[in-house]
């Protein structure tokens, strides 16, 4: 599988496995290990986590599976996030990007994963109460201690990116953003342009729009179902999923879709999408179907 | 006529003649040559085109007129655009800023104009599927081959400008944007500020708002008709058009309005606007009439 | 009181006294002098003005009070603004950031204040008709003549800031913007991020939202009243005002709230707010109460 370069000594697999619903899959440690190995066999080596996923349980479940075969750690990249606090662990939902919390969160993540380093740590959401000097101090200390190799953000717009980056002595390596043919916001508001400008490949969450294209009744979803079905036939894909992934994969921004499924068949669909080549006409047919009108 | 400097060895006439409706004027080659010479006599030396104007026919009509008097080529600046595909030449409307298409489009434009160079080539619209490395390769090759002297864009917002510029080894020389007292978007969203910041004089399309001020029934148009008529009287202009042009010409951004008419009288109005000096009070009276309220 | 550094030899008091309604207080010169000394005793040394406040009368009233005790001039920082023209002095409301007007406005301000220098001059509003070269010329001349020590802006968004700054040979030292728990625009649109990025501490106008939280019937105001009352009790503040100020003061952007009251008791509330320490949970409870929903 294609590898995407994020730094001199860091690459991600083009497809990333997402663990935000890992707790819902009901897998035993052995089954989860099997899923990880299934991913690795297909070249998916990068795994996306966050401290809060599964009510703060996904990291440790993943770590327990890894512990069955410690040699896997060197073959994978672990991405995790911090900065959101929420029930049940905390009394209310809020953001915390203080130095103390970032470091404590990473320490907990290391314990959960039973590893001594995180490959990439992301600030989960732009925090309107962020003290960028504290974030920089936390990042520098974590890097110096070897606990986190690289840093990035998630859901950041241009102002937030430029602001935080200006306090850091090293470049942020990714911005994890939502993009799909159903949700065009980050394509329309300049966030994807920002990633291209900064040479930062974005991790893409919700590449299938959470299934909305298949189930929602709004005009956009209805239009997209028809267009995706047509393009699916044209390119000979087995499922619409593959076309949804392909629409992102052929974009020049080197988007890395996060495949958030525990089912082998669904992961296979994403892998098959790597072989699809959408034409420019098909790409715009899907875009315009989503917008509901032609480009100007 | 005042000349606007875009690069060390490139200036445009303050007013630009726009050829997007050239095909509708029903002019013979000789009549079109006459119109070009009429412009030149008044100092308008810059002509704005696009591959797609007139269903892909305007460039070649203009080229046929030029061919009647080849010595004119050295006295004019030709601006043209690429990046939009549309029927009837293509099956659907879409953008294409691939290296292949940019170069092929320029080759066709050169053939249409019967010239061996374009003065300035613009990307017609920001392309959400743009590969900026390909655009840069195309631009560099075209420049090296002497086929295009300078490059710019059209309808780009800040994110799109910063992104594309970051891939180019030379500065973009203009951004062709819509501005008029009726359509304030680019004044309000920071795009005109961007042009000032980058020292890039904008070409301005639809400076008369496509006539909306004269015909539309919305409140803004009705208010503006009254205000323009009043200011016209105050400054002693013959027509409202002149005041519309003057409102742009007195702005510090060195806007270059595109006069898109084939009628001599209408072109004369734009030329007369160069002599009008609106006061700051008149400029704001028009702005506030458009907004429907005072500035804060 | 904490001092905020804006330049090598310029600091402001953390709280700023605002004189925009000074003309309404009905104070004699002696009473006004008493108010100024009351502020100074509490460490508030920075006073915010504008040419237009009080129908162009506030500066001179303040100057008359200062004239009673000229030694005070060296103990205070005077901030004033220019760039808005309005009745009754002018026939209509408009902006004027021409070199001529900026310099004439400062000369008038110097006469009004009976001083020979302004500490910081702000452009009051972003002027869509601004000629940044003229602004730069005016600023440079005023600085060279020793009439204005430093320059800033007010109500500028990123595009406007970047544009004007690009023409100046020295950095702008502040952006005076509206921020309160009731009006989140500048927190949400990236303007506060910009201040952090540029290391520019913002002066904050309308920190109490003009009293809207106490009187308005909209859902946001009603929700905020309840939340502020609860937090007031938790932190042991005497009034809700203190919590409103504290919500700004604990933010990392080093916001300098402008206290626009002539009543000693109200100024005392702002001073007491400096001793309050809101928790992160309280800060987000107020934010989320204003938004009407949790952060994402």
Condensed to tens digits (0 to 9), the pLDDT of residues B87-118 reads 999 999 999 999 999 999 999 999 999 999 99
Q: Are residues A142 and A232 in the same domain?
A: no
pLDDT in tens, C48-79: 999 999 999 999 999 999 999 999 999 999 99
Q: Are residues A168 and A187 in the same domain?
A: no
Q: Would residue B252 count as lying in a domain? A: no
pLDDT at A158: 98
Q: Would residue C34 count as lying in a domain? A: yes
Q: Are residues A291 and A184 in the same domain?
A: yes
Average pLDDT over residues B148-172: 98
User: At C112, is the pLDDT very low, low, confident or very high (cuts 50, 70, 90)?
Assistant: very high
DSSP, collapsed to helix, strand or coil, labels residue C10 as strand
Q: Would residue B62 count as lying in a domain? A: yes
pLDDT at A214: 85
Q: Would residue C135 count as lying in a domain? A: yes
User: At A211, is the pLDDT very low, low, confident or very high (cuts 50, 70, 90)?
Assistant: confident
Average pLDDT over residues C121-145: 98
Of the partner residues A197, A252, A295, the one whose CB lies closest to the CB of residue B125: A295
pLDDT at A160: 98
Q: Would residue B277 count as lying in a domain? A: no
How does the average pLDDT of chain C come out, rounded?
97
Q: Are residues A260 and A200 in the same domain?
A: yes
% of residues, chain C, pLDDT over 70: 100
Dig out the tokens for B220 from the structure. Answer: 């803004």
Q: Chain C within 8 Å of B255 (Cβ-Cβ)?
A: no
pLDDT at A97: 98
Average pLDDT over residues A90-116: 98
**pLDDT reading at A7 higher than 90:** yes
Q: Would residue C61 count as lying in a domain? A: yes
Range of the domain at A282: 174-296
User: Which of A53, A95, A150, A245 is flagged as catalytic?
Assistant: A53
Q: Would residue A76 count as lying in a domain? A: yes
Q: Chain B within 8 Å of C155 (Cβ-Cβ)?
A: yes
Contact list, A287 vs chain B (CB under 8 Å): 128-129
Answer whether B251 sits within 8 Å of C129, measured CB to CB.
yes
User: How big is chain A, counted in residues?
Assistant: 296
The DSSP result for B171-191, as a single string, is ----EEEE--SS--HHHHSSH
pLDDT at A25: 97
Provide the number of structural domains found in chain A. 2
**pLDDT reading at A213 higher than 90:** no
Single residue among A136, A153, A173 that ends a domain in this structure: A173
Q: Chain A within 8 Å of C168 (Cβ-Cβ)?
A: no
Which candidate, C254, C255, C243, C253, places its Cα nearest to that of C279? C243
Strands (E), C139-217: 148-154, 175-178, 203-205
Burial profile C136-165: b = 16 or more Cβ within 10 angstroms, e = fewer: bbbbeebbeeebbbbbbbbbbbbbbbbbbb
Single residue among A139, A154, A173 that ends a domain in this structure: A173
Q: Which residue of A has its CA nearest to C282?
A: A94
Average pLDDT over residues C124-144: 98
pLDDT in tens, C155-209: 999 999 999 999 999 999 999 999 999 999 999 999 999 999 999 999 999 999 9
Q: Would residue C264 count as lying in a domain? A: no
pLDDT at B212: 87
Average pLDDT over residues B170-181: 98
**pLDDT reading at B211 higher than 90:** no
**pLDDT reading at B259 higher than 90:** yes
Q: Which residue of A has its CA nearest to B98?
A: A280
Say which residue the tokens 């060197």 belong to: A74
User: At C212, is the pLDDT very low, low, confident or very high (cuts 50, 70, 90)?
Assistant: confident
Of the partner residues C190, C193, C281, the one whose CB lies closest to the CB of residue A94: C281
Bridge partners for B151 per DSSP: B121
User: At C211, is the pLDDT very low, low, confident or very high (cuts 50, 70, 90)?
Assistant: confident
Average pLDDT over residues B252-270: 98
User: At B214, is the pLDDT very low, low, confident or very high (cuts 50, 70, 90)?
Assistant: confident
User: At C214, is the pLDDT very low, low, confident or very high (cuts 50, 70, 90)?
Assistant: confident
pLDDT at A222: 96
Bridge partners for B5 per DSSP: B11
**Is A53 assigned a catalytic role?**
yes
Q: Chain B within 8 Å of A162 (Cβ-Cβ)?
A: no
Q: Are residues A243 and A198 in the same domain?
A: yes
User: At B23, is the pLDDT very low, low, confident or very high (cuts 50, 70, 90)?
Assistant: very high
Going by the DSSP 8-state scheme, the letter that residue C73 receives in this structure is G
Q: What is the CATH number of the domain that holds C58?
A: 3.20.20.100
Answer whether B193 sits within 8 Å of C95, measured CB to CB.
no
Average pLDDT over residues B171-181: 98
Average pLDDT over residues C264-273: 98
pLDDT at C213: 87
How does the average pLDDT of chain B come out, rounded?
97
The DSSP result for chain A, as a single string, is --EEEEETTEEEESSEEE-TTGGGS---HHHHHHHHHHHHHTT--EEE--TTHHHHTHHHHHHHHHHTSGGGGGG-EEEEEE-EE-TTTSSS-EE---HHHHHHHHHHHHHHHT-S-EEEEEE-S--TT--HHHHHHHHHHHHHTTSEEEEEEES--HHHHHHHHTT-SS----EEEE--SS--HHHHSSHHHHHHHHT-PPEEE-TTGGGHHHH--SHHHHHHHHHHHHHHHHHT-SSHHHHHHHHHHTSTT--EEEE----HHHHHHHHHHTT----HHHHHHHHHHHHTS---
User: At C146, is the pLDDT very low, low, confident or very high (cuts 50, 70, 90)?
Assistant: very high
Q: Which chains touch A (3 or more CB pairs under 8 A)?
A: B, C
% of residues, chain A, pLDDT over 90: 98
């Amino acid at each position: 599988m294609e590898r995407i370069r994020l730094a001199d000594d860091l690459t991600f697999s083009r497809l990333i496995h997402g663990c935000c619903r890992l707790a819902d899959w009901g897998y035993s440690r052995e089954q989860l290990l099997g899923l990880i190995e299934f991913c690795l066999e297909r070249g998916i080596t990068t795994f996306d986590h966050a401290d809060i996923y599964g009510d703060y349980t996904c990291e440790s479940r993943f770590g327990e599976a890894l512990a069955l075969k410690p040699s896997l750690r060197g073959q994978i990249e672990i991405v995790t996030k911090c900065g959101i606090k929420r029930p049940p662990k905390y009394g209310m939902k809020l953001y915390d990007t203080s130095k103390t919390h970032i470091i404590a969160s990473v320490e907990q993540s290391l314990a959960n994963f039973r590893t001594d380093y995180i490959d990439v740590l992301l600030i989960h959401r732009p925090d309107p109460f962020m003290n960028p000097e504290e974030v920089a101090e936390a990042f520098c200390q974590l890097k110096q201690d070897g606990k986190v190799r690289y840093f990035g953000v998630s859901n950041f717009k241009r102002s937030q990116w430029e602001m935080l980056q200006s306090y850091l002595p090293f470049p942020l390596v990714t911005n994890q953003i939502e993009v799909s043919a159903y949700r065009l916001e980050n394509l329309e508001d300049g966030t994807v342009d920002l990633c291209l400008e900064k040479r930062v490949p974005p991790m893409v969450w919700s590449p299938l729009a959470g299934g909305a294209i298949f189930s929602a009744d709004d005009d956009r979803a209805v239009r997209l179902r028809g267009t995706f079905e047509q393009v699916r036939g044209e390119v000979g894909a087995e499922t619409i999923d593959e076309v949804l992934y392909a629409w992102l994969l052929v974009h020049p921004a080197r988007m890395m879709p996060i495949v958030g499924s525990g089912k082998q068949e669904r992961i296979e669909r994403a892998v098959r999408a790597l072989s699809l080549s959408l034409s420019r006409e098909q790409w715009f047919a899907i875009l315009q179907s989503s917008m509901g009108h032609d480009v100007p």
